[in-house]
């Protein structure tokens, strides 16, 4: 669930910039100039927000409700920045005001850099929003946003003072944002964040139906995490230097770290076909705020396919005296695709409050709110709901739960998509 504190922080910073820009606008400004330069400043602050969020700084997770939500905000701010840039571009005066030295300003590259930045921004966002491009190709192309960012900095830093007053209060705010945003880009793109990754050895690879379980042994410090969290996994070696996020399926007290990976794209297919035990893996994390311990005593867990992994980690960590009343609805296409089902049923024998409800669509059994309403002993608003699975499943179920009176804060979802 997206927490609004982070969104409010973005709004406050933009509102502060607008207030300073309007209150201390140069006397020579016409209303059109003041307005369009303000829109350009808002666009830049939104770009800066995207750069900061791309660092995956864990302290920001509390503001937004997890890294998955940060990526969603990152996508929205990037798209919104294009809208403000376009309005700025078509609205800003194309002719210099009277009294400005045209010859001196003709030598300044502000306008060409702004034009190039606009073109590259449009292309970058078109690539970013194109779901047909594979992640391995999308990732390096997405780094073009850094080129856009530095071109925009060059655009306003070399602009005539009538458009950007460097030592005005709003001008200083934009300059500070530029320093923070540039630093964030360098940190996230040039591998500086890899220094926080922990080295693991790939101890074993266990095959499952359409999935592989990676068993990682620590080569040094062991990662501490909470059940339900995920981490970025990067396999060392040629053609593998590409981190991917996966939910941790082991319990925190296990010696080894386990990830269960289903084939969903080119990289995961390569894991299934080519990855061998014995190599080194870098793991960075943990991330996420999908924590079932934060719910009440009555909980419904809904897992779709590989979405079972955060619940698997949690169940493996549960103690025999756990007093919660938990219904785990595990939906897959067929029984053989229900990973670790036997283990889950064994845990249910140990944990008196845990009930496993497998649903197989090839038998005509689907996860539906109206069926929950009929089968559950208490009314739907009496439970906390934790949903993890494909958006096509969790989205409609969340909508139906709200229609039945379940509060927004009672529904917790793990976002699968990071693009």
Is domain 197-287 annotated with CATH 3.40.640.10?
Answer: no
Residue 48 has pLDDT above 90, yes or no: yes
C-alpha 71/C-alpha 68 separation (Å) is: 5
Region 4-192: CATH code = 1.20.120
Query: Residues 61-116: pLDDT tens digits?
Result: 888 888 888 888 988 898 898 889 888 888 877 666 555 555 545 545 777 778 78
Backbone angles phi, psi at 96, to 5 degrees: -70, 145
Q: Give the mean pLDDT of 326-345.
A: 88
Over range 35-48, report the average pLDDT: 92
- Mean pLDDT confidence for 391-417: 84
Predicted confidence at residue 418, as pLDDT, reads 57
Tell me the pLDDT band of 58, cut-offs 50, 70 and 90: confident
Question: What pLDDT does 256 receive?
Answer: 92
Quote the DSSP letter at residue 255: S
Output the six-digit token pair for 88. 């700025």
Cross-sheet strand order for the sheet of 211-218: 244-247, 230-235, 280-287, 198-208, 211-218, 257-262
Phi, psi of 385 (to 5 degrees): -115, 130
Distance in angstroms (rounded) separating the CA atoms of residues 173 and 166? 10
292-414 placed in CATH 3.40.50.80 = yes
- What's the rounded Cα separation, in Å, for the pair 204 and 57? 30
| Backbone torsions φ then ψ of 180, nearest 5 degrees | -65, -45
Average pLDDT over residues 212-234: 90
Mean pLDDT of 132-145: 70
Return the structure tokens found at 14: 């933009």
Q: Cα–chain-centroid distance for residue 232? A: 12
CA distances from 15 to 20, 263, 310 (A): 9, 45, 38
Q: Is 246 helix (H, G, I), strand (E, B) or coil?
A: strand
239: number of Cβ within 10 Å:
9
- Describe the strand order of the beta sheet including 354-360 as a list of residue ranges: 354-360, 325-332, 298-304, 384-388, 411-414
d(CA 143, CA 174): 22
- Domain boundaries, given as residue ranges, for the chain: 4-192, 197-287, 292-414
Residue 163 has a pLDDT of 72
How does the average pLDDT of the chain come out, rounded? 83
pLDDT at 133: 67
Instruction: Return the pLDDT at 294.
Output: 85
């Amino acid at each position: 669930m997206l927490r609004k504190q982070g969104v409010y922080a973005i709004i406050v910073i933009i509102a502060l910039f607008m207030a300073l820009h309007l209150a201390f606008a140069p006397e020579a400004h016409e209303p059109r100039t003041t307005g369009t330069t303000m829109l350009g400043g808002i666009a830049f602050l939104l770009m800066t927000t995207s750069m900061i969020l791309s660092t995956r700084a864990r302290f920001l997770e509390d503001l937004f409700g997890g890294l998955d939500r940060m990526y969603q905000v990152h996508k929205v701010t990037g798209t919104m920045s294009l809208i403000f840039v376009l309005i700025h571009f078509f609205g800003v005066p194309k002719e210099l005001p009277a009294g400005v030295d045209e010859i001196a300003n003709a030598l300044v590259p502000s306008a060409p850099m702004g034009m190039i930045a606009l073109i590259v921004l449009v292309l970058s966002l078109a690539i970013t929003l194109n779901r047909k491009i594979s992640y391995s190709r999308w990732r390096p192309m997405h780094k073009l946003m850094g080129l856009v960012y530095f071109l925009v900095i060059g655009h306003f830093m070399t602009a005539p003072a009538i458009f950007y007053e460097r030592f005005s209060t709003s001008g200083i705010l934009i300059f500070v944002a530029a320093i923070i945003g540039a630093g964030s880009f360098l940190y996230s793109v040039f591998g500086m964040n890899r220094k926080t990754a922990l080295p693991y050895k790939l101890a074993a690879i266990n095959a499952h139906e359409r999935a592989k379980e990676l068993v990682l042994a620590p080569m040094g410090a062991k990662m501490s995490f909470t059940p339900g969290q995920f981490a970025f996994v990067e396999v060392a070696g040629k053609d593998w230097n590409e981190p991917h996020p996966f939910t941790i399926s082991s319990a925190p007290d296990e010696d080894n770290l386990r990830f269960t990976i289903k084939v969903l794209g080119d990289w995961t297919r390569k894991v299934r076909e080519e990855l061998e035990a014995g190599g080194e893996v870098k793991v960075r994390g943990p991330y996420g705020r999908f924590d079932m311990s934060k719910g009440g005593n009555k909980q419904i867990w809904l897992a779709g396919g590989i979405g079972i992994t955060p619940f698997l980690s949690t169940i493996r960590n549960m103690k025999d005296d756990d007093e919660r009343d938990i219904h785990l609805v595990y939906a897959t296409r067929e029984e053989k695709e229900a990973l670790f089902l036997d283990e889950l049923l064994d845990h249910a024998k140990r944990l008196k409050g845990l009930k496993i409800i497998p649903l197989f669509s090839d038998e005509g059994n689907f996860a539906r709110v109206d069926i929950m309403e009929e089968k559950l002993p208490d009314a739907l608003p009496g439970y906390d709901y934790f949903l993890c699975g494909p958006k096509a499943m969790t989205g409609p179920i969340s909508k139906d739960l709200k229609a039945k009176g379940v509060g927004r804060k009672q529904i917790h979802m793990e976002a699968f998509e990071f693009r």
